[in-house]
Amino acid sequence: MLAGILSVARRNNPLMGITGALICRHDLYLQLIEGPADAIDALYARICEDDRHANVELLLSEDMGERLFPNWAMLDDTAPSLFWSAEDVAAGALEAASPADLRAPFIRLSAANPGG
């Protein structure tokens, strides 16, 4: 299912001027979406309506200025490490995370994929 979602994102996102990255860990998915605000809002609405996604939650919405993933329609992070443990997530780590905490994994991912 994830491969299908990524395939559609990689095909459709460039048409809307959207770039970004998806971090997948067990049953936790963190996604950073970059692009025009109206395109992001439309994409987020489609994600929320898509029955392949459950418990969608917007954790942070802000203008980041320069894109972290300007050449990635949707980068899929396949690294085996966890940014938060399952126990941390269950205990509310994402809800308690600061904007800097939420940006940090994507900044590390961007640095690890500079040619994107």
Q: What is the pLDDT of residues 32-71, one digit of tens each?
A: 999 999 999 999 999 999 888 888 999 999 988 899 999 8
Residue 16 pLDDT greater than 60, yes or no: yes
Give the model's confidence band at 106: pLDDT under 50 very low, under 70 low, under 90 confident, else very high. Answer: confident
Residue 6 pLDDT greater than 90, yes or no: no
Among residues 20, 27, 26, 17, which one has the least CA distance to residue 6?
A: 20
**Quick one: fold of 2-112?**
Alpha-Beta Plaits (3.30.70)
Kindly report the pTM of this predicted structure. Answer: 0.79
